[in-house]
């Protein structure tokens, strides 16, 4: 009502307000981290709903992680925007596809594959390619890149060359493996995540009646984190919007961290050109972080090599002063993790809630040593694989078991106790295991118990069937139950989120930037990851690195990104500083590469031989020249054709 109205505009600065009250039509907010982009779009949606300009169920808001989508729903509910759909691209596509599929194909919708890895492995096997875990993962990643980039198997070799991809196998082999994967998947009547998007775009483009019905249903679209949209998602967005223009996008090109997977900020940056009548707003005030954190963030991104138009935004801190960012060097990873556990305990003692503390790392494998250190210090934590929660094997297994339990009528005790006893069947123990995979599994199961507790608190009469229905609803929207504790998460999973205290750990060469970042563009993406990490902190920010792996002897160098950040007077900066300066000033030698597979060579023996240990010493010279031809012949201009989903089944 009228009395509510002013509240939505309070607590917004003039620029944010301008984006909130802009009439329906294209709106674009280009701004740095912590400037209130997400806040602005949630307020805008609530405002439009409140003014009766759009009905909540006509709004579709999309973002990139389930956690972010869940957060947006929570914020919307608080603002009176209940009923608005805030989802990931995939969840939204899944929902739409499930609805339209039977009408188009006159069959049940195909199942989402629960083991894409296995299908890729089968495809690799069929072609006689390596079925080693790592190799299959690389293959799967490359197939994903292709699908996200709207590139089919036939177009792959040329497209990969044009995009400068480092292909894990010969491009033609990859193309064949890709086709074999699609064939295996279609035969099994399975869909992968990208298929959800491909199918819904195809349906909306090819079926005018369905498109019309869809466009009657959804009238207003909002995209958060638009800098990370990939061609496939953009195609889906285009299909959703049609020839209308009621689209609000917000993003920060400096936070593009998925370009390795095909994402590009070009649509964000190009938005004002595409819609000249758009309301374009730039925000500079950072409301999230102390000036100390903001200063460091500006330094990180200020050092970026390339700063295209639209990324030259400087953040201006708004909050009171806080502690200086803390830099610390350790001898090995175990020392680092143990010291951080102690620092976390200190923060907790000073009143910082554990759920307001995060440890962020570059690769998930880094999590283990922190899990161990936190367990040893008896500090509760959760590992953030967030969006994957309901896809985890133990969760699927638990849900199947719970369903069986309903069928047998298993609930005399109260709900949480019932759930606990059912989950014992799938391995829930009273005490948490020490660490690693077992610990992660336990955390998932205990999260299910806590969800039962949450439900009982809200609905005291809820039984097992109601509980499972709630899980199904959450699984569909992929909203993970929360466990109070320190968050352990990858930098990628931390995007859009914020904590009072953030630990950025393992800042060494080879980890950040990651080893395989061996082009300037890849290094720049790593720098943006650091920027994302730094800007997650509201107040306390800790940056650390260890000079050796846990128990290892091999010396590692601190990340090149730290070079200009560690204050000169800092004790950790002194010993290495001169050495690093020397290293930095040395002219870069051309990197040696394996003459067969083109992998970067590091070992001295490998460099001498000119090939990596994995490649055969006697190689077919024909094959080699073919390979060289592929590498040198990079198509300049690539016209990306629409990608056809099925190879041997059809849509009709
Ligand atoms: P990111 O780029 O990291 O996603 P963002 O631009 O989406 O950041 P938000 O998460 O919306 O930023 O806002 C950051 C923090 O600042 C939040 O805690 C938010 O509530 C707060 N905030 C935003 N705008 C204002 C404002 N005008 N007054 C006070 N606090 C604000
Ligand atoms: Mg945001």
252 lines ligand 1 (CB under 6 A): yes
487 lines ligand 1 (CB under 6 A): no
Q: Which pLDDT score is estimated for 396?
A: 85
**Site of tokens 């590139």:** 151
35 annotated ligand-binding residue: yes
- What are 280-309's pLDDT values in tens digits? 999 999 999 999 999 999 999 887 766 665
The rounded radius of gyration (Å) of the Cα atoms in the chain is: 26
Pocket test of ligand 1: the residue of 17, 19, 38, 39 to mutate, having most ligand atoms within 8 Å of its CB, is 39
**Residue range 112-128: average pLDDT?**
88
d(CA 543, CA 418): 44
Q: Is 60 exceeded by the pLDDT of residue 58?
A: yes
Centre of ligand 1 from the C-alpha of residue 258, in Å: 22
Centre of ligand 1 from the C-alpha of residue 381, in Å: 25
Please give the angle made by the CA atoms of 79, 83 and 87, to the nearest 5 degrees.
95
286 lines ligand 1 (CB under 6 A): no
- What are 528-544's pLDDT values in tens digits? 999 999 999 999 999 99
Q: Is 70 exceeded by the pLDDT of residue 36?
A: yes
Residues with CB under 5 A from ligand 2 (ion): 37-38, 496
Do the Cβ atoms of 429 and 442 come closer than 8 Å? yes
33 annotated ligand-binding residue: yes
User: Which has the minimum average pLDDT: 80-84, 272-276, 292-296, 583-587?
Assistant: 583-587
Quick one: tokens of 50? 């409140």
H-helix segments, 586-620: 604-609
Q: Is 60 exceeded by the pLDDT of residue 650?
A: no
Q: What is the pLDDT confidence band of residue 414, given thresholds at 50, 70 and 90?
A: confident
The b-or-e profile of 256-281 (16+ CB within 10 A means b, else e) is: bbbbbebbbbbbbbebbeebeebbbb
User: Which has the minimum average pLDDT: 70-74, 473-477, 568-572, 640-644?
Assistant: 640-644
Question: For the residues of 7-25, what is the DSSP string, one character each?
Answer: HHHTT--HHHHHHHHPPSS
Between 279 and 98, the more confident residue is: 279
Do the Cβ atoms of 38 and 74 come closer than 8 Å? no
- What are 261-276's pLDDT values in tens digits? 889 999 999 999 999 9
Residue 116, H or E segment: helix 116-126
User: Which has the minimum average pLDDT: 167-171, 479-483, 514-518?
Assistant: 479-483
Centre of ligand 2 from the C-alpha of residue 34, in Å: 7
Please give the angle made by the CA atoms of 261, 262 and 266, to the nearest 5 degrees.
140
Q: What are the beta bridge partners of residue 593?
A: 600
351 annotated ligand-binding residue: no
Q: Is 70 exceeded by the pLDDT of residue 574?
A: no
Q: Whose CA is nearest to atom 15 of ligand 1?
A: 288
Of ligand 1's listed atoms, the one at least distance from the Cα of 35 is 6
For the entire predicted model, the pTM comes to 0.75
Instruction: For the chain, give the mean pLDDT.
Output: 82
User: Which has the minimum average pLDDT: 68-82, 393-407, 427-441?
Assistant: 427-441
Nearest bound ligand to CA 536? 1
Q: Is 90 exceeded by the pLDDT of residue 636?
A: no
d(CA 327, CA 339): 12
d(CA 92, CA 204): 14
Q: Whose CA is nearest to atom 8 of ligand 1?
A: 34
Q: Which pLDDT score is estimated for 159?
A: 94
Q: Is 70 exceeded by the pLDDT of residue 403?
A: yes
496 lines ligand 1 (CB under 6 A): yes
* Residue among 465, 433, 441, 437 at smallest CA distance from 452: 465
d(CA 606, CA 597): 13
Question: For the residues of 485-513, what is the DSSP string, one character each?
Answer: SEEEEETGGGTT--EEEEEE---BTBBTT
Q: Which pLDDT score is estimated for 483?
A: 58
Q: Whose CA is nearest to atom 9 of ligand 1?
A: 36
Neighbours of 608 (CB within 10 A): 10
Nearest bound ligand to CA 281? 1
Q: Whose CA is nearest to atom 2 of ligand 1?
A: 33
Q: Is 80 exceeded by the pLDDT of residue 481?
A: no
**Residue range 216-222: average pLDDT?**
94
* Count of alpha carbons within 13 angstroms of residue 276, beta-carbon side: 0
Q: Is 60 exceeded by the pLDDT of residue 629?
A: no
Nearest bound ligand to CA 289? 1
d(CA 54, CA 123): 48
Between 459 and 232, the more confident residue is: 232
253 lines ligand 1 (CB under 6 A): no
Q: What is the pLDDT confidence band of residue 455, given thresholds at 50, 70 and 90?
A: confident
37 lines ligand 1 (CB under 6 A): yes
Q: Which pLDDT score is estimated for 80?
A: 84
Centre of ligand 2 from the C-alpha of residue 33, in Å: 7
Q: Is 80 exceeded by the pLDDT of residue 144?
A: yes
Centre of ligand 2 from the C-alpha of residue 443, in Å: 27
13 lines ligand 1 (CB under 6 A): yes
Q: Is 80 exceeded by the pLDDT of residue 609?
A: no
318 lines ligand 1 (CB under 6 A): no
Q: Is 70 exceeded by the pLDDT of residue 4?
A: no
């Amino acid at each position: 009502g009228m009395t509510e109205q002013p509240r939505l505009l309070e607590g917004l600065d003039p620029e944010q307000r301008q984006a909130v009250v802009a009439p329906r039509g294209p709106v674009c907010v280009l701004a740095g981290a912590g400037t209130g982009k997400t806040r602005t779009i949630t307020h805008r949606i609530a405002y439009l709903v409140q003014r009766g300009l759009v009905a909540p169920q006509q709004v579709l808001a999309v973002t990139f992680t389930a956690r972010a989508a869940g957060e947006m729903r929570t914020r919307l509910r608080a603002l009176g925007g209940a009923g608005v759909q805030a989802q990931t691209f995939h969840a939204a596509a899944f929902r739409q596809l499930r609805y339209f599929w039977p009408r188009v194909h006159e069959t049940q919708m195909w199942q989402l594959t629960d083991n894409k890895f296995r299908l890729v492995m089968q495809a690799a096997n069929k072609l006689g390619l390596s079925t080693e875990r790592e190799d299959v993962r690389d293959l799967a990643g490359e197939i994903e890149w292709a699908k996200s980039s709207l590139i089919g198997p036939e177009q792959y070799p040329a497209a990969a060359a044009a995009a400068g991809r480092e292909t894990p196998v010969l491009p033609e082999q990859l193309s064949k493996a890709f086709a074999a994967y699609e064939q295996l998947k279609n035969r099994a009547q399975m869909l992968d995540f990208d298929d959800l998007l491909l199918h819904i775009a195809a349906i909306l483009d090819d079926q005018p009646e369905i498109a019309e019905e869809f466009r009657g249903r959804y009238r207003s679209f909002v995209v958060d984190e638009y800098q990370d949209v990939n061609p496939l998602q953009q195609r889906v967005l285009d299909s959703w919007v049609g020839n209308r223009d009621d689209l609000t996008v917000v993003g920060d090109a400096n936070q593009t961290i998925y370009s390795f997977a095909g994402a590009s900020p070009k649509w964000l940056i190009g938005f004002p050109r595409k819609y000249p009548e758009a309301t374009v707003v730039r925000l500079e005030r950072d409301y999230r972080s102390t000036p100390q954190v903001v200063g460091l963030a500006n330094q990180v991104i200020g050092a970026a090599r390339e700063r295209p138009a639209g990324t030259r935004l400087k953040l201006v801190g708004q909050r009171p002063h806080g502690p200086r960012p803390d830099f610390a060097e350790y001898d090995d990873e175990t020392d680092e993790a143990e010291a951080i556990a102690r620092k976390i305990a200190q923060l907790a003692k000073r009143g910082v809630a554990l759920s307001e503390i995060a440890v962020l790392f570059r690769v998930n494998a880094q999590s283990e040593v922190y899990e161990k250190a936190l367990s040893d210090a008896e500090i509760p934590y959760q590992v953030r694989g967030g969006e994957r929660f309901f896809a985890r094997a133990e969760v699927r297994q638990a849900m199947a078991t719970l369903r069986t339990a309903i069928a047998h009528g298993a609930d005399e005790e109260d709900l949480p106790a019932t759930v606990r006893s059912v989950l014992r069947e799938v391995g829930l123990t009273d005490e948490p295991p020490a660490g690693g995979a077992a610990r992660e599994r336990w955390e998932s199961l205990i999260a299910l118990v806590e969800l039962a507790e949450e439900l009982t608190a809200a609905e005291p009469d809820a039984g097992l069937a109601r509980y499972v229905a709630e899980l199904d609803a959450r699984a569909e929207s992929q909203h993970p139950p929360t466990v109070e504790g320190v968050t352990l998460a990858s930098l990628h999973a931390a995007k859009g989120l914020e904590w009072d205290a953030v630990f950025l750990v393992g800042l060494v060469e080879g980890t950040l930037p990651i080893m395989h970042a061996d082009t300037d563009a890849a290094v720049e993406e790593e720098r943006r990851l650091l920027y994302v990490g730094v800007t997650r902190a509201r107040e306390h920010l800790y940056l650390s690195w260890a000079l050796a792996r846990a128990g290892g002897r091999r010396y590692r160098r601190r990340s090149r990104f730290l070079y200009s950040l560690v204050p000169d007077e800092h004790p950790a900066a002194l010993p290495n500083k001169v050495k690093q300066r020397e290293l930095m000033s040395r002219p870069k030698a051309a990197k040696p590469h394996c003459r067969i597979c083109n992998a970067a060579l590091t070992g001295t023996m490998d460099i001498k031989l000119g090939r990596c240990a994995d490649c055969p010493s006697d190689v077919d010279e024909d094959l080699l020249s073919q390979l060289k031809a592929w590498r040198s012949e990079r198509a300049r201009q690539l016209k990306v054709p629409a990608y056809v989903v099925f190879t041997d089944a059809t849509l009709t």
